[in-house]
Copies of this chain bind each other. A is one copy, B any other.
Amino acid sequence: MSIDEVLRAQDFRVTRARTLVWQVLDEAQSHLSAADILQRVHDYDESINSSSVYRALSLFAELELVRETRQGELSTWEPAHDDAVIHLRCELCDITIHFDAPTVNNLRKQVGNITNFTPTSIDVRISGVCESCSSAT
């Protein structure tokens, strides 16, 4: 289902701002800051305002189409994905790599079994050094 269809299906209007913000996120398939997104949106259309970008992002977040993450100072966004996919964040180059770790589901079960806490979503982030940074001495 395209973003247009998703929006229309829930009675939201398909606008240039929303379409472009989605397009940028979808093309990047990585963690982008609001500033990154705005900049790339401007590559397509200078006239889109930052407010509209923020508004599109929060709408998408509500519809669970994107996932917002706080990395250090600022927020980043990426298309939503399963929470068993964890984030490996390189401390040197700041890149974020996805890693599908089935163990995450064990962790989820463990918490469900041992405690009386009922998990809904799990968020695993690992900081460290990525391959290219560690091989670059």
Contacts and interface: CB of A to CB of B under 8 A. Distances in A.
Interface of A: 70, 86, 88, 90-91, 97, 99, 101, 103-104, 106-108, 110-111, 114-131, 134
A125 B122 contact: yes
Contacts of A116: 130-131, 134
B120 A123 contact: no
B103 A118 contact: no
A134 B70 CA distance: 28
Given A99-B117, A103-B103, A115-B88, A124 B122 contact: yes
Contact of A124 (B91, B118, B123): B123
Contacts of A104: 107
